[in-house]
Amino acid sequence: MNRKYRKTVIAGNWKMNMLASEVKPFIEQLKENMPKTRACDVVLCTPAVMIPTMIKAGKECKVAAGGQDVSKYEKGAYTGEVSASQLADIGAKYCIVGHSERRQYHGEDDMLVNAKAKALLAKGISPIICVGESLEQREMDLTMEYVDYQVKAALNGIDATQLRRCIIAYEPIWAIGTGKTATAEQAQEVCEGIRAVIRKIYGARPARAVSILYGGSMNAKNAYELLAQPDIDGGLIGGASLKPVDFATIIAATNQE
Ligand code: 13P
C-alpha cells in the first residue's frame, strides 16, 4: 500500500452466493468486528438483485455496494442483462468487469471487458477490472506479457481523468478459490508490472494514483503480508468475504504503516 498517493480498497466478491435476507445479519456481524479506525474503502460486490439491500444495510458501517458484471449496451433487447445506468440508478458505486469466471464460463474477451469498463465510466461507476494469468501461462513464463496485454486492452480509449475512477485487480487464475495464494513477492512483482504498463500509457502521476488490488485466496491469515507490499493497494476477496469475521480481519490488516 502507499496511502500517500492512492486509496486502499478492500472489496468482497460474493459471486453467486448469499441471499438478500442474509445481508443485514452479515453487515451487523461485520460491524461488530470492524476495527475502530479504518484505513480503507470497503465494497461488497453482490449479485445485482441484492445491491439495494446492501446499500441500505451497508450505510450502517460505510460499506459501498457494487455489481459483478454489466452489459456493454446502454439499453434495449438484451434479455437477462443489466445496464450501467440501471446499476447507477440503484446506487451501485463499483462494478467488477472481466472476472476470470466471466472470461472462462461466458467467453468474455478483452475487447468486451474494455467496452464494459467504458459503459460503467460513462455512468460514473468505478470499474474493478480483473486481469490475471493461468497456471500454464505462468509456467511458460508468459505472466507479464499476458497481463500487460490484458491491462492495455482493458484501458484502451480510457483517458487519464477516467483512469482515476478505475481499479485494477490482479487475480492469478490458479489462485482463485484454490486456497493457493500467490506469495507476497509474486503478487507484488505483477502488481508492480501492472503499474509500469499504466505508467507507459499515462505517465508517472496517473500510474502512481491507481489502486491495484490482489485477489486469489486472500484470507484473514495472509492479508497482512500481501497488503504490506508497496504496489498492492487492497484486495478482491471471494471466499473470505462471505465470513464477516474474516472479512473484518482483512479490513483491519490495512491498518499498517
Ligand atoms: P477467492 O478469494 O475465493 O479465491 O476468490 C477470489 C476472487 O475470484 C475474487 O474476485
User: So what's the pLDDT on residue 211?
Assistant: 98
108 is catalytic: no
**Over pLDDT 90: what percentage of the chain?**
93
Instruction: Give the integer Cα–Cα distance in Å for 71 and 194.
Output: 25
Cα torsion at 66, 28, 9, 148 (round to 10°)? -50
171 is catalytic: yes
Averaged over 182-201, what is the pLDDT? 97
* Top mutation candidate among 14, 43, 133, 217 for ligand 1, by most atoms within 8 Å of CB: 217
CA–centroid distance, 217 to ligand 1, in Å, is 6
Instruction: Give the integer Cα–Cα distance in Å for 159 and 173.
Output: 28
Instruction: Give the integer Cα–Cα distance in Å for 58 and 44.
Output: 9
CA–centroid distance, 237 to ligand 1, in Å, is 5
Atom 7 in ligand 1: residue holding the nearest Cα:
238
pLDDT tens for 86-129 read 999 999 999 999 999 999 999 999 999 999 999 999 999 999 99
User: So what's the pLDDT on residue 198?
Assistant: 98
Nearest to 47 by CA among 29, 31, 65, 59: 65
The model's confidence at residue 220, banded by pLDDT at 50, 70 and 90, is very high
CB 99 within 8 A of CB 13: yes
Instruction: Give the integer Cα–Cα distance in Å for 251 and 34.
Output: 7
Q: Residue 159 corresponds to which amino acid?
A: D
The model's confidence at residue 39, banded by pLDDT at 50, 70 and 90, is confident
Averaged over 158-185, what is the pLDDT? 93
User: So what's the pLDDT on residue 179?
Assistant: 79
Instruction: Give the integer Cα–Cα distance in Å for 160 and 143.
Output: 25
pLDDT at 138 over 90: yes
User: So what's the pLDDT on residue 257?
Assistant: 75
CB 110 within 8 A of CB 149: yes
- Which one is catalytic: 101, 108, 133, 171? 171
pLDDT tens for 4-33 read 999 999 999 999 999 999 999 999 999 999
**Over pLDDT 70: what percentage of the chain?**
100
Instruction: Give the integer Cα–Cα distance in Å for 20 and 207.
Output: 37
Atom 1 in ligand 1: residue holding the nearest Cα:
238
Average pLDDT over the chain, rounded to an integer: 96
pLDDT tens for 229-251 read 999 999 999 999 999 999 999 99
CA–centroid distance, 76 to ligand 1, in Å, is 32
User: So what's the pLDDT on residue 177?
Assistant: 83
Atom 5 in ligand 1: residue holding the nearest Cα:
238
The model's confidence at residue 181, banded by pLDDT at 50, 70 and 90, is confident
State the greatest distance between any 2 C-alpha atoms of the chain, in Å, as a whole number: 50
